[in-house]
A and B are shown apart, each in its own frame.
Chain A
């Protein structure tokens, strides 16, 4: 009796609806998706195969170590770790995979930042925008990351580009949130001061709010980069190349050894990227 009350409304076809919308988007916007897929795909291939992979590993390692040395305030720790870590990856024969992963992370994080910062600014400037965007961000972050792979495949097929797309959805929220937070945290008196001297909105933003919010925004970007990395691994399920694909294939063949080594490679990359972005933040703050 009570159960029949629950069945008062027949099942709402949300899944069908979503599929329909996705199909519709795919059809109508293929004009948009196809060139993105082609150009971005070509560019990323070029970057990983014709740029990064052509740099002799030894030079790459030394360059990373030098940068590490200088951004960590002339301390040896990070530089030493970079040398040993990157050499280990090379030693295990994963250098090309590493370059693919680096390409994916760089492109995905760059796009996330380029899209995320303006949205963060918009949220900080407008209460309405904040009210609309906040729940969307929550949705984007809590939806299991695998789910994004499905529309990514629908729109962009398989390969690097859908990986970037999925990563964008998953990894952009921290940049948006931290940009918003950073700008809102700028003390009221400073904002008043810039208004009192007759700043335009843009002057206030670029001369006062963004410089003051920089440390917070950088913390958000650090989060975004780390999330991109984790998504890039997941994206191997839809054919994104890189270290993640090695992990996936060892999973499929239940090959503990290879899986561990590829996993360690990802951890090394993660630590280097994390320390790099954090140090850049410290130095500028």
Chain B
């Protein structure tokens, strides 16, 4: 069962929003409605569900309604229509008291500009969520300290937020959100105000933290790289509507429409990077020297399930799988010829990333980069995604 489920969630700003909703039904665009009715459509019928333990990224450019959407989820902004189910309860129809209970116990928020309370110490900031729940002093101090420790700020608890750097302030923001141990973490452009290096560091740390705590995270960003790095699934927004929801690969490989495609192309590096930038040194076996036994041993060492086969001049001959090699050894087959497979996904070193997605998506084995019949390198699925996210040790100097 999904932890959070949004159904037809809409927000129209301005007077008489119901009228504007009717215009939306008639298929009028956001601009047309602004002109005709004077209403701004913030979010238009957003529906999605988020599973437990998932990082669900909502991505869009500024003005696409993503910040409004995340505020609809905890009802900082009242929805005009639609429902938000959290553990099956409809947040949109709750009275104030139940809403407060959900905000206190089930979801916390991390803000773009940190929104720390400047007059409180770091510890007092982290305690805030527990303080409004009237938790006993001892308990809230203990939990807040633990949360601060998790984000690596144990030594700073008596400082004021103004004394910390941006990255550290956002750690406090994160600790404040984690202190009351919510099921759901809403992160509104949480790392956007940080400089690129710190941002990356925070992303890594979030991934680390997430691997141990398994929260359900809804992460808002305008940055495709960030979305690809963090997201288990990504929802792309445009003009208040969700245009596509999918895993990072689905979004990259099968953009739902022109908008997504342009978004992906504009932001990513697929245009600049080619196969040679992301390929790795291949692990190979030599058909002239090695038999199935060596091949199997090499695969075990490298932790691979398949391996490319070359001759002494590095001409690509094919590939073998571990299963076949193991069977060959049992049947006492001495050379590799017989189990050699030839359906190799191949590209040359100038192939663009964009094409590589398409090839690699359906391929069970790494893509081979070939020049004049020789194996130059291999590309695994992970390095494509990582390269897009700007993370791979990209061999730019080779370009």
State the A residues within 8 Å of B (CB). Answer: 187, 189-190, 192-200, 203, 207-208, 211-212
B132 touching A193 by the CB < 8 A rule?
Answer: no
Q: Does B249 contact A (CB under 8 A)?
A: no
> Which residue of chain B is the closest to A203 with respect to CB atoms?
B132
Chain B residues, CB < 8 A from A207: 117, 128, 131-132
Which residue of B104, B119, B186 is within 8 Å of A211 (Cβ)? B119
For chain B, residues 108 to 164, give those with C-beta under 8 angstroms from any C-beta of chain A. Answer: 108-109, 111-119, 128-129, 131-133
Interface residues of B in 156-193 (CB under 8 A from A): 176, 180, 186
Bound-state CA distance A193–B190 (Å) is: 13
> Interface of chain A, helix or strand or loop or mixed?
helix
Contacts of B109 in A (CB 8 A): 192-193, 196-197
Interface flag for B300 (CB, 8 Å): no
The verdict on B293 contacting chain A, using a C-beta distance below 8 Å, is no
Given contacts A187-B115, A212-B119, contact A196 B101 (CB under 8 A): no
A282 to chain B, nearest CB (A): 14
Q: Report whether B100 and A200 are in contact in the complex, using a CB–CB cutoff of 8 Å.
A: yes
Bound-state CA distance A187–B111 (Å) is 12
Contact across chains for B119 and A196 when beta carbons are under 8 A apart: no
Asked if A190 and B115 sit within 8 Å, CB to CB, the answer is: yes
Contact A196 B132 (CB under 8 A): no
Q: How far is the CB of B271 from chain A (nearest CB, A)?
A: 37
Is B44 in the interface zone, CB < 8 Å from A? no
Let me know if B108 and A197 touch, CB within 8 A. yes
Do the beta carbons of B117 and A208 come within 8 Å of each other? yes
Q: B111 and A198: CB pair below 8 A?
A: no
The number of chain B residues with a CB under 8 A from chain A is: 29
- B197 lies within 8 A of chain A by Cβ: no
CB-defined contacts of B128 to chain A, threshold 8 Å:
193-194, 197, 207
Residues of B within 8 A of A (CB): 71, 74, 76, 99-105, 108-109, 111-119, 128-129, 131-133, 176, 180, 186
Q: Is A196 touching B108 in the complex (CB atoms < 8 A)?
A: yes
- In the docked arrangement, what's the CA distance between A208 and B125, Å? 11
Our pick among B101, B115, B116, B176 for the contact of A192 (Cβ within 8 Å) is B115
The answer for the CA separation of A195 and B338 in the assembled complex, in Å, is 69
In the bound complex, residues from chain A placing their C-beta under 8 Å from that of B117 are 190, 193, 207-208, 211-212
Instruction: List the A residue with the shortest CB-CB distance to B125.
Output: A193
Q: Shortest beta-carbon distance, B60 to chain A, in Å?
A: 20
Q: Which of A189, A190, A198, A208 contacts B129 (CB 8 A)?
A: A198
20 contacts between A and B (CB under 8 A): A189-B111, A189-B114, A190-B115, A193-B115, A194-B128, A194-B132, A196-B76, A196-B108, A196-B186, A197-B104, A197-B180, A198-B100, A198-B102, A198-B104, A200-B100, A200-B132, A207-B132, A208-B117, A211-B119, A212-B117
Check B132 against A195 for contact (C-beta < 8 Å).
Answer: no
CA of A186 to CA of B118 in the docked complex: distance in angstroms? 11
- Name the distance in Å between B217's Cβ and chain A's nearest Cβ: 15
- Which of B99, B103, B105, B180 neighbours the largest number of chain A CB atoms within 10 Å of its CB? B103
Task: Pick from B71, B113, B133: contact of A198, CB below 8 A.
Answer: B133
Residues of B within 8 Å of A194, CB to CB, are: 128, 132
Nearest CB of A to B68, in Å? 12
Contacts of A195 in B (CB 8 A): 76, 103
Top 3 A-B pairs, shortest CB-CB distance: A198-B104, A198-B103, A189-B115
Question: Given A189-B111, A192-B111: A197 and B119 within 8 A (CB)?
Answer: no
Q: A187-B115, A196-B109 are in contact. List 19 more A-B contacts (CB 8 A).
A: A189-B111, A189-B114, A190-B115, A193-B109, A194-B132, A195-B103, A196-B103, A197-B103, A197-B128, A198-B101, A198-B105, A198-B129, A199-B100, A199-B132, A200-B100, A203-B132, A207-B132, A211-B117, A212-B118
